[in-house]
Structure 1
Amino acid sequence: MKKISYIAFLLGSSMLLPSCQDQLDLKPISQTVVGGDGTGTAGSSIKDAASAEAALAGCYSIFKSSSSEYYVMDYFILGDGESDNAYAGADNAAWFEVDEFRILSTNAVAARDWQYLYGHVASANSIIANVPKVTDAGLSADRKAQIVGEAKFMRARAYFDLVRIFGDIPLVVDELPTITSSNVEEVYGKLYPARSSAEDVYTQIIKDLDEAATVVPKSGPDKMTVTPGAVYTLLAKVYATKKDWEKVKTNADKVIGLGYSLMPNFEDLWDGKHENSAEAIFELNFEDWSTGGNWGSSMFYGTDWKKFNTPSNDLLKAYDDEKDVVRKASTVFTADVTGKWSDKYWPLTKFPFAYKMRNTDASQNIVMYRLADVLLLKAEALNETGDLAGARTLVNQVRTRVKLPAATAADQTAMRLAIEKERRLELAFEGQRWYDLARTDRAIAVMDAVKDGSGNSLKYNVTQTRLLWPIPQGEIDKNASLTQNKGY
């Protein structure tokens, strides 16, 4: 009876949340209950070419609609606000917990981001399971393969974030069936699975991406299309996390070989006048409020209220120490906010804001992957495999654009730190920094050394257990098979 009661309460289960697809009215799994009519699964509405395309459009739209709170805001606060790049800012207690490494299992941000990411997984699973079954002659075999490949990329992208945030997680790759009174015992384990090892999750991510790479479209109407460049970029990131440097080089070379090029001016990436540029590999396109506008810009930039991701004293010092005037100007904006709010880190006469997302009219695009990131990943791989000269060439290519002198690192250790710094200054407020520190085993040392503007230690006291977030308590309460991360 306890199992039946759980299943009747599926509305709150994040594992079952499908995408909110305006283009396709799929029956949400979260609305199936014991005694349902058993007419099919959530993806059973995918029956012909039109509904297959609509399902894919719905999966893409998750970046801008039903999970936008993650993709336009939380992703960036996690990637930069949890790192030495920024303070949480604003006035949200849940983000203060993250920023100060005292997050609880009841943290509201952790709960919602788990749901958003698994919602994207569920949407992709429906496509992967059902599009191959379509017999409509209007959907060619090649197009079927493309659609499935694009969905596999989006599933892999969501799982990559989940495993980096939470560690061992449930791995769900099958579409969940409709629940009836006759199959409840069989289905229960699929609805409430145990955690898989992070290694198994990475294996699935790589499998999805390997299968997607050869079938996704070579190009699209804009950069918000999964192409081989996006797939190989994500593979390079995955292999960098696993420290498989030869495969980082292989996948980075595949990206570089596709013809992307650095924009001549760093500012061109952020001014709103050069969207879907030659440097962009995968970019979320936003136009206006009626089509899922980017409200995230207003979370980081503006003087109407205290924003999230307040640039840290440590980050601005890093720009100044490097004499990196070009990137600092495009990354950080300062304004006089006297009388508007208080702050313990900054004087109000020159208060900093994250500036890369600055257009607050809903039209600001988000560049998720770009060439400079890939060049620096390859430089890292070259350095780790003994090619110091090759690494230096790539680092200098990135530095030359922003009018900085050549890197002077003379050995592998020095170059490792030089690349870490270069990635920080190049990619600040793009959601990268925390993950870079975590994957290079530098998070504890770096965060424990962070000081405020007066040279006082911020005393984060980061421990190994705090490198992962806790499994949301609400998920454990619903799923007896889930266990908690150590230290929570």
Structure 2
Amino acid sequence: MCKIQYFVIMLFGLCLLCGCEDALTVKPENSLTYENGLSTPKDFESFINGVDKALKVLTYTNEPNLQIKKGVYVDDYYDDSEMEWSQTLSFPSSELSYWNTRSWQIYYQPIANANVVLAYADVADLSSEERNLYKGQAWFYKALLYLEIIRQWGDCMLIRDQVELLPTAKTNWDEVADYAIDLATKAAEVLPEFDKIRMANGNVATYKSTPCKGSANALLAHLCAWKAGGKYFAHDDAYDEMELWKKAEEACTRVITSGQYGLAANPEEVCASVLLGDSRESIYETITRNFWNEERLPMGPKHIVEDYAGWPIIPTIQPSSVAYNVCRIKASSMKEMYLQNDLRREAYFYKLDSMSHDTLLPVTGGYAYLYKFRKFYTERTDDGYIMVRGLDQNKIWWRLADIYLLRAECRARLGGNYMEGAIDDLNKIRERANAKLYDASEYGGDLRYAIFKEREKELLLEGQRYYDIIRNDYVRMELKGNYQTVTNQDLKDGALFLMIGDGAFSQNPLLRQNTYWHRRL
């Protein structure tokens, strides 16, 4: 395998779309090195943008959805389907070979490329502000990618400063979390707030895909909360989770009090503006809206809501098709979840009350019409048929409502003097939705569970619920099927995570399969 310093920057885009092993054995004819090529702010900015592009490519793959599907809210789905296997932890042996193809290589290539930025930023002719910006953004991307890897696969390869991907044994996920927390902490310390970032040409940052202090603190909060909440399945549980909850709470507070972000006025604005992208409520997002066709891929970004979407968002689909969607949500369930005055009731679902009238049962089948995600790519074929290509909205990683509710959870965990603040944060989101404010009679007085249920309501189908379930140790309470009978050892062995794809083993003899899945392959 050639050393990474022999690659030219112009090959970086190709690296992102190739397998790691193939990309890392490419040697350019002119032998231009990164050392020669990474020297000006424009060079570093272009390279950082390439790492951002890797995140965009990830939105076109189905890997993240494999985890998200396990906990996504759904009342009915096609039997003997991918959704059923995911939600019940009952993958048939005949399908395991299919699930065993899921690869983490696409996450490791941008980590190695972020390491190139870190290797050369200190020796390049940059100002201290420029150096802090590019190093901070590289730290941010590495930490974000590791958060995604440990949430999907648990134990994984830990690539620290290497820019050459050599055979590497797995590291316990909790140790990887420590490393990522350190990276996110450093990123939050050196990165400017979003409105203070200047691009290489002197212009202000345009897109919220640009890592900044706020996004680094949001990432830090989620990393600390993940390790704190995951103590029950950690390999080495000899750590103080309360210190981590405190660190997460403080990171959330820095985001909330920064003055950079604000809640949208109401749930309707969340659906019509925030979820599309580039709003004051959005903290960090990957830009895919209006850019998907530039990736030269046959379909738009993969998103779980495509299994729920239909009329009236997609005009070529009839109202009666709601009963045949891959995933279906009952109108009665949503009326119970979102009480009468809750504005999310009508913003997230199209005419929930009137469309669920008994007289329309032959049409609706009793199901609700998802209206939270409203913009899809469509393409008209030569014969006039409108084909749906994918969701035409940016990927919102974190928005301010998420951070308020995460801080509420942190405060509930910390207890004591923090409890009042936890209720205030919970009520902040309920007030926006015109929902009933918290009282101690809810859920038997379990404030943390009330916060979990509020996250379920506010962030419905935004990809958070499965991770919220794991973080709160609600696996046996909130999930179905075999999840209700998993043992504590199963959890430590990796039952909550994906099996490692076959491709990862071909060039890495030191790698071993997730223990839980190894027994079932």
Q: Distance in 2 between matches of 1:382 and 1:409?
A: 16
SS state at 2:252 partner: helix
Q: 2:471 aligns with which of 416, 439, 447?
A: 439
Give 1:388's aligned residue.
419
AA of the residue aligned to 1:446: E
- Residues 107 and 146 of structure 1: CA distance in aligned 2, closer, same or farther (over 3 Å): farther
Residue 418 of structure 1: how far off its partner (Å): 0.6
Q: 1:287 aligns with which of 290, 315, 321?
A: 290
- Residues 98 and 47 of structure 1: CA distance in aligned 2, closer, same or farther (over 3 Å): farther
**Given the alignment of the two structures, is residue 326 of structure 1 paired with residue 343 of structure 2, yes or no?**
yes
Q: Distance in 2 between matches of 1:44 and 1:308?
A: 54
Residue 156 of structure 1: how far off its partner (Å): 0.6
SS state at 1:86 partner: coil
What does residue range 167-186 of structure 1 map to in structure 2 within 5 Å? 167-177=154-164
- Residues 359 and 90 of structure 1: CA distance in aligned 2, closer, same or farther (over 3 Å): farther
Give 2:455's aligned residue.
423
What does residue range 293-304 of structure 1 map to in structure 2 within 5 Å? 295-296=301-302, 299-300=306-307, 301-302=309-310
* Unmatched segments (≥5 aa) in structure 1: 1-6, 9-17, 178-189, 336-345, 449-457
Residue 320 of structure 1: how far off its partner (Å): 2.0
**Given the alignment of the two structures, is residue 119 of structure 1 paired with residue 94 of structure 2, yes or no?**
no
Give 1:277's aligned residue.
279
Give 1:267's aligned residue.
268
Residue 222 of structure 1: how far off its partner (Å): 3.0
CA deviation digits over 1:358-382, x for unaligned, max 9?
2113642232111111111111122
Q: 1:408 aligns with which of 426, 435, 439?
A: 439
Q: Distance in 2 between matches of 1:97 and 1:223?
A: 36
CA deviation digits over 1:78-106, x for unaligned, max 9?
32x21151379689965554333134795
Q: Distance in 2 between matches of 1:33 and 1:121?
A: 17
Give 2:502's aligned residue.
473
**Given the alignment of the two structures, is residue 397 of structure 1 paired with residue 428 of structure 2, yes or no?**
yes
8 Å contact 2:156–2:171 — kept in the other structure? yes
What does residue range 34-433 of structure 1 map to in structure 2 within 5 Å? 39=31, 45-64=37-56, 66-70=57-61, 74-76=63-65, 78-79=67-68, 81-86=69-74, 97-103=85-91, 106=96, 108=98, 111-112=101-102, 114-135=104-125, 139-177=126-164, 191-219=166-194, 220-243=205-228, 244-259=244-259, 260-272=261-273, 275-285=277-287, 286-292=289-295, 295-296=301-302, 299-300=306-307, 301-302=309-310, 310-313=327-330, 317=333, 320-323=336-339, 325-332=342-349, 349=365, 351-352=367-368, 355-361=371-377, 363-386=392-415, 387-409=418-440, 414-433=446-465
8 Å contact 2:151–2:497 — kept in the other structure? yes
AA of the residue aligned to 1:299: E
AA of the residue aligned to 2:449: L
* Unmatched segments (≥5 aa) in structure 2: 3-9, 195-204, 229-243, 353-361, 378-390
AA of the residue aligned to 1:479: N
The 10-residue stretch of structure 1 (110-119 or 300-309) with the greater mean CA deviation from structure 2: 300-309
Q: Distance in 2 between matches of 1:486 and 1:67?
A: 26
8 Å contact 2:87–2:479 — kept in the other structure? no
8 Å contact 2:156–2:172 — kept in the other structure? yes
Residue 332 of structure 1: how far off its partner (Å): 4.2
The 10-residue stretch of structure 1 (53-62 or 284-293) with the greater mean CA deviation from structure 2: 284-293
CA deviation digits over 1:144-189, x for unaligned, max 9?
2201211211111110111122111100123434xxxxxxxxxxxx
SS state at 1:364 partner: coil
- Residues 96 and 45 of structure 1: CA distance in aligned 2, closer, same or farther (over 3 Å): farther
Q: Count the aligned residue pairs.
A: 435
Q: Distance in 2 between matches of 1:444 and 1:168?
A: 22
Residue 205 of structure 1: how far off its partner (Å): 0.5
8 Å contact 2:170–2:511 — kept in the other structure? yes
SS state at 1:21 partner: helix
SS state at 1:281 partner: strand
SS state at 1:282 partner: strand
Give 2:383's aligned residue.
none
Q: Distance in 1 between matches of 2:366 and 2:349?
A: 11
- Residues 89 and 62 of structure 1: CA distance in aligned 2, closer, same or farther (over 3 Å): farther
Residue 481 of structure 1: how far off its partner (Å): 0.9
Q: Distance in 2 between matches of 1:295 and 1:484?
A: 29
SS state at 2:119 partner: helix
SS state at 1:62 partner: helix
Q: Distance in 2 between matches of 1:390 and 1:151?
A: 34
The 10-residue stretch of structure 1 (293-302 or 212-221) with the greater mean CA deviation from structure 2: 293-302
SS state at 2:327 partner: strand
Q: Distance in 2 between matches of 1:24 and 1:170?
A: 19
Q: Distance in 2 between matches of 1:439 and 1:93?
A: 26
AA of the residue aligned to 1:357: F
- Residues 421 and 39 of structure 1: CA distance in aligned 2, closer, same or farther (over 3 Å): same
8 Å contact 1:213–1:231 — kept in the other structure? yes
AA of the residue aligned to 1:223: K
Q: Distance in 1 between matches of 2:83 and 2:104?
A: 15
CA-based RMSD of the aligned residues comes to: 4.0
- TM (norm. structure 2) is 0.72
- Residues 96 and 25 of structure 1: CA distance in aligned 2, closer, same or farther (over 3 Å): closer
- TM (norm. structure 1) is 0.76
